[in-house]
A and B are shown apart, each in its own frame.
Chain A
Amino acid sequence: MTPIAQWVEVGKRYGPLVAVEDVSLALRPGEVTALVGHNGAGKTTLIKLLLGLIRPSVGRVEVQGQNPAGRGGAQARRTLGFLPENVAFHGAMTAVELMAFYARLKGCAPAGNADLLARVGLAAAARRRVATYSKGMRQRLGIAQALIGEPRLLLFDEPTSGLDPASRVEVFDTIDSLRAGGATVLVSTHALAEVEQRVDRVAIMHRGHLLAAGTLAELRHGVRAEVRMQLRLRPQAAADVAARLPQGLRCTARAGGLAIELPRTRKMEVLHAIAGLGAEVEDVEIATPGLEALYRDLVEARGEAGVAA
């Protein structure tokens, strides 16, 4: 599959400051990719490069085969929707006026704007000045403008920061429906847990370096993070239970039970063994490593190497 947009061995420096270094990443058509990392990891820099707002110091950036900072850049941006972090608008204008302006800039008829505003739930407030909007409403207007002209590629920079839980869910519902419509989405975030169930691929940035990229399953593969089990046991049964479990597990006694860390490949084997213990075990909780754990492990394992380089 030819990527809809890609960074090829891209580096960006601001004087002595290295914003990103040696990043190669491709966005495949129809996929939702999460760009995760701490603040200052280089996520926004990558997005700015894709928009042609800045030029790479080394390497190249392509959007639909074009250099976004070059002569064909404006053309490449026509099929692109962007929601900046902390989106801001001219407060004196109404949502209807702003949407009409942005639609014309994209060469689209403003006729479809009412539908977009309704889709993000701003139909009732569409004729109010944006200065009277709450943060959540501004964010929704930001999403509405990004959707103008049915873009094939959407870039959402921290779309959920500062939003209440209900609005966060709405944002991800919008992203789901965009994927269903065949659009490619890049969503940057530092809230790892909330993107976990919603994205096809994850790219992890740390201090300007791309630590890993792939599906969650691919990323989990070969990472130290293991399945953790919490057993609640009958009183004084811990030593007995630990002895009767398979060899080679890391067992730690906890108040009222036992914590076990094991490779994912042995999960079923251990579960069978626990089932065989009968009434000694009162309850079992199983935690597969999430994106947070994955991120921690990757940063520990490769981040230090990256810093040393």
Chain B
Amino acid sequence: MKTGLIAMQEIRVGLRNRWVLATTLLLAALALSLVLLGSAPTGTVKADPLAVVIVSLSSLTIFLVPLIALLLSFDAIVGEHERGTLMLLLAYPVARWQVVVGKVLGQVVILAIATLIGYGVAAAALWLTSAAALQAWGGFAAMVLTSVMLGAAFVAMGTLASTLVRERATAAGLAVAVWLFFVLLYDTALLGVLVADTGRHLGTQALDVALLLNPADVYRLFNMSASAGAAVYSGMAGPGTATGLPAGALLAALTAWVLAPLALAVLAFQRRSI
């Protein structure tokens, strides 16, 4: 109840300061351009255009959605603290966990609105320009759903960063570091380790674990290998094609990536002195 109130307030602020509008437009514009321009490379190869779109949209998501999520959330607690609104909020009959969970919930909803509308526009364009099999749309829906989950994981991490530090600038720095680490550096480092190891110590299992330890990789695995149609086209897109992780395990891992940082953020906020 209180959690919902705080979430609603967060959404209202997001609508008011045009965060929702800006992210929706950004995602819609990029998704549309991928759909419209992206049909060129399929050319005469008779590739399923929907599978191509799923692969290219999920590549876009991996870079953009975590960034948007972190930008939304790094300010959540420390920003209110700096503006001086946190003390007043906590003087109300509301528990601290409700503040953290409510804010995360509100930001995930903002992100979900942007993703659903942005990618929905792309889906509508695709629907009009090509006739894909109905079951192939299941893969698209799963891609949108996991995109929101990926965003939720990074919202939770951004909120955790926001709860741990005393200054907005520090939280912003932490958020950038989180993005660089999980989105850019992790795979490169993992690849380096694998090349150096040349398969002597690290088997497939170790690789699976390493991939589950990064929500961006979990998302990539789910959308590029778990759905059969997409796997063909993703090819070199990620290091995950060799893995045998079932879709259910990947979804569970992504859920854990949402809940664990959220739980840590609640714990950290309980201890924070105002």
Interface residues of A (CB under 8 A from B): 14, 48, 51, 53-54, 74-75, 77-78, 80, 82, 84, 86-90, 92-93, 97, 101-102, 104-107, 142, 145
Contact = CB atoms under 8 A, between A and B. Distances in A.
A106 B89 CA distance: 11
Interface of B: 2, 5, 9, 12-13, 16-17, 83-85, 87-95, 273-274
Contact of A105 (B84, B87, B93, B273): B93
A128 to B, nearest CB: 13
B85 A54 contact: no
Contact of B84 (A14, A74, A87, A145): A87
Contacts of A102: 92
Given A48-B274, A54-B273, A93-B16, A88 B85 contact: yes
A53 B94 contact: no
A48 B91 CA distance: 9
A94 B90 CA distance: 20
A145 B90 CA distance: 13
B28 to A, nearest CB: 23
Given A82-B88, A87-B88, A90-B85, A105 B17 contact: no
Given A48-B274, A93-B12, 18 more contacts: A48-B87, A53-B87, A53-B273, A54-B274, A77-B92, A78-B93, A82-B88, A87-B88, A92-B13, A93-B16, A101-B5, A104-B5, A105-B2, A105-B93, A106-B92, A107-B93, A142-B88, A145-B88
A92 B12 CA distance: 10
B17 A88 contact: no
Contacts, number: 60
Contacts of A86: 84
B16 A84 contact: no
Contact of B95 (A14, A74, A78, A97): A74
A282 B87 CA distance: 57
Contacts of A82: 88, 91
Nearest to B88: A84
15 contacts: A51-B91, A53-B273, A77-B92, A80-B91, A82-B91, A84-B88, A86-B84, A87-B88, A90-B83, A93-B13, A102-B92, A105-B2, A105-B92, A105-B93, A142-B88
